[in-house]
Amino acid sequence: MTVAEKHIRVSDKIKQELDQRREEGESYNDVLERVLSDNRELLIGFGAFEETDRGDNTEAVRRKTGEKSARRIKQMAESRSDE
Protein backbone atom coordinates (compact mmCIF):
# COMPACT_ATOMS: atom_id res chain seq x y z
CA MET A 1 0.00 0.00 0.00
CA THR A 2 1.34 3.39 -0.94
CA VAL A 3 0.86 6.02 1.70
CA ALA A 4 0.59 9.63 0.58
CA GLU A 5 1.66 12.13 3.18
CA LYS A 6 -1.16 14.44 4.16
CA HIS A 7 -1.31 16.63 7.18
CA ILE A 8 -4.43 17.27 9.20
CA ARG A 9 -4.96 19.57 12.13
CA VAL A 10 -6.50 18.26 15.31
CA SER A 11 -7.10 19.88 18.67
CA ASP A 12 -4.95 19.00 21.66
CA LYS A 13 -7.94 17.14 23.09
CA ILE A 14 -8.25 14.93 19.99
CA LYS A 15 -4.50 14.28 19.90
CA GLN A 16 -4.63 13.18 23.54
CA GLU A 17 -7.54 10.86 22.72
CA LEU A 18 -5.59 9.36 19.81
CA ASP A 19 -2.53 8.94 22.05
CA GLN A 20 -4.66 7.08 24.60
CA ARG A 21 -6.05 4.76 21.93
CA ARG A 22 -2.70 4.03 20.30
CA GLU A 23 -1.39 0.55 20.80
CA GLU A 24 2.32 -0.17 20.84
CA GLY A 25 3.85 0.29 17.41
CA GLU A 26 0.77 1.93 15.91
CA SER A 27 0.93 5.07 13.84
CA TYR A 28 -1.78 7.70 14.07
CA ASN A 29 -3.00 6.46 10.70
CA ASP A 30 -3.30 2.93 12.13
CA VAL A 31 -5.33 4.24 15.08
CA LEU A 32 -7.67 6.18 12.82
CA GLU A 33 -8.18 3.21 10.49
CA ARG A 34 -8.98 0.94 13.45
CA VAL A 35 -11.34 3.41 15.11
CA LEU A 36 -13.16 4.21 11.88
CA SER A 37 -13.60 0.54 10.97
CA ASP A 38 -14.90 -0.21 14.50
CA ASN A 39 -17.58 2.46 14.10
CA ARG A 40 -18.75 1.02 10.80
CA GLU A 41 -19.02 -2.45 12.30
CA LEU A 42 -21.28 -1.09 15.04
CA LEU A 43 -23.74 0.09 12.41
CA ILE A 44 -23.99 -3.23 10.60
CA GLY A 45 -27.60 -4.34 10.74
CA PHE A 46 -28.85 -1.02 12.04
CA GLY A 47 -32.54 -0.87 11.16
CA ALA A 48 -32.60 -4.45 9.85
CA PHE A 49 -35.68 -5.32 11.92
CA GLU A 50 -37.54 -2.13 11.15
CA GLU A 51 -41.17 -2.74 10.22
CA THR A 52 -40.98 -6.48 11.02
CA ASP A 53 -42.45 -8.60 13.79
CA ARG A 54 -38.96 -9.05 15.15
CA GLY A 55 -38.50 -5.29 15.30
CA ASP A 56 -41.82 -4.87 17.08
CA ASN A 57 -40.93 -7.62 19.57
CA THR A 58 -37.52 -6.11 20.22
CA GLU A 59 -39.07 -2.69 20.83
CA ALA A 60 -41.65 -4.22 23.21
CA VAL A 61 -38.90 -5.92 25.23
CA ARG A 62 -36.88 -2.68 25.33
CA ARG A 63 -39.91 -0.73 26.51
CA LYS A 64 -40.78 -3.30 29.25
CA THR A 65 -37.17 -3.38 30.43
CA GLY A 66 -37.09 0.41 30.61
CA GLU A 67 -40.32 0.45 32.61
CA LYS A 68 -38.98 -2.16 35.04
CA SER A 69 -35.77 -0.17 35.47
CA ALA A 70 -37.72 3.02 36.13
CA ARG A 71 -39.85 1.25 38.79
CA ARG A 72 -36.74 -0.17 40.50
CA ILE A 73 -35.03 3.21 40.54
CA LYS A 74 -38.14 4.82 41.99
CA GLN A 75 -38.39 2.10 44.68
CA MET A 76 -34.73 2.53 45.58
CA ALA A 77 -35.13 6.28 45.84
CA GLU A 78 -38.24 5.91 48.02
CA SER A 79 -36.55 3.38 50.31
CA ARG A 80 -33.59 5.72 50.81
CA SER A 81 -35.86 8.60 51.74
CA ASP A 82 -37.51 6.38 54.38
CA GLU A 83 -34.21 5.79 56.21
Q: What is the pTM of this model?
A: 0.41
Residue-wise pLDDT tens for the chain (83 aa)?
566 788 889 999 999 999 999 999 999 999 888 888 765 555 566 666 667 777 677 788 888 888 888 888 888 888 876 55
What are the Cα distances from residue 77, in Å, to 37, 70, 72, 73, 81? 41, 11, 9, 6, 6
Separation of alpha carbons 72 and 75, rounded Å: 5
User: Are 51 and 83 contained in the same domain?
Assistant: yes
Backbone angles phi, psi at 15, to 5 degrees: -60, -40
User: Are 51 and 76 contained in the same domain?
Assistant: yes
User: Are 53 and 82 contained in the same domain?
Assistant: yes
Domain containing 78 equals: 47-83
Give how many domains the chain has, as a whole number. Answer: 2
